[in-house]
């Protein structure tokens, strides 16, 4: 089960990275359009109205918008890369302030030779 889930996740990531997710979504939209339109008209008319481009469904419109915004984001990223090298800035202040609580818990000192306790361990209660 775990291996199957990993393979499915890798497959979905590969689809997304290659841009094939748009093809899968568009195929799903076309299939839904043909099925819904063939209920009211003949199959030939449903296929023709699906692929003529004049009658897009809401999913087709969303896919077109998504492709355009994805293309614009890639262009903007390319412009940022061309604008100049990214430079790292060193700040002179700490992002996280140190804790100033009075009852701050500290780690006990470490001793590789045994415990630093001077008292003997508690004895077990006598058996009845």
Q: Residues 67-105: pLDDT tens digits?
A: 888 877 777 766 666 655 556 666 666 566 656 555 666
Measured CA to CA in angstroms, residue 78 lies from 6, 16, 17, 19 at distances of 32, 20, 17, 18
The pLDDT tens digits for 11-67 are 988 888 888 888 888 999 999 999 999 999 899 999 999 889 898 888 888 888 888
Neighbours of 77 (CB within 10 A): 10
pLDDT of residue 79: 63
Hey, CA dihedral for 107, 113, 114, 115, is it positive or negative? negative
Residue 101: DSSP 8-state: -
Structural domain boundaries in the chain: 20-74
pLDDT of residue 8: 92
pLDDT of residue 35: 92
């Amino acid at each position: 089960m775990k291996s199957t889930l990993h393979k499915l996740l890798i497959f979905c990531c590969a689809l997304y990275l290659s841009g094939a997710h748009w093809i899968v979504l568009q195929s799903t939209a076309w299939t839904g359009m043909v099925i819904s339109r063939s209920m009211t008209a003949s199959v030939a008319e449903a296929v023709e109205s699906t692929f003529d481009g004049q009658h897009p469904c809401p999913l087709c419109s969303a896919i077109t918008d998504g492709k355009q915004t994805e293309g614009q984001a890639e262009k903007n990223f390319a412009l940022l890369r061309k604008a100049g090298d990214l430079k790292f800035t060193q700040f002179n202040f700490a992002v996280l302030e140190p804790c100033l609580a009075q009852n701050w818990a500290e780690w006990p000192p470490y001793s590789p030779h045994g415990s630093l306790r001077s008292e003997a361990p508690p004895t077990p209660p006598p058996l009845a």
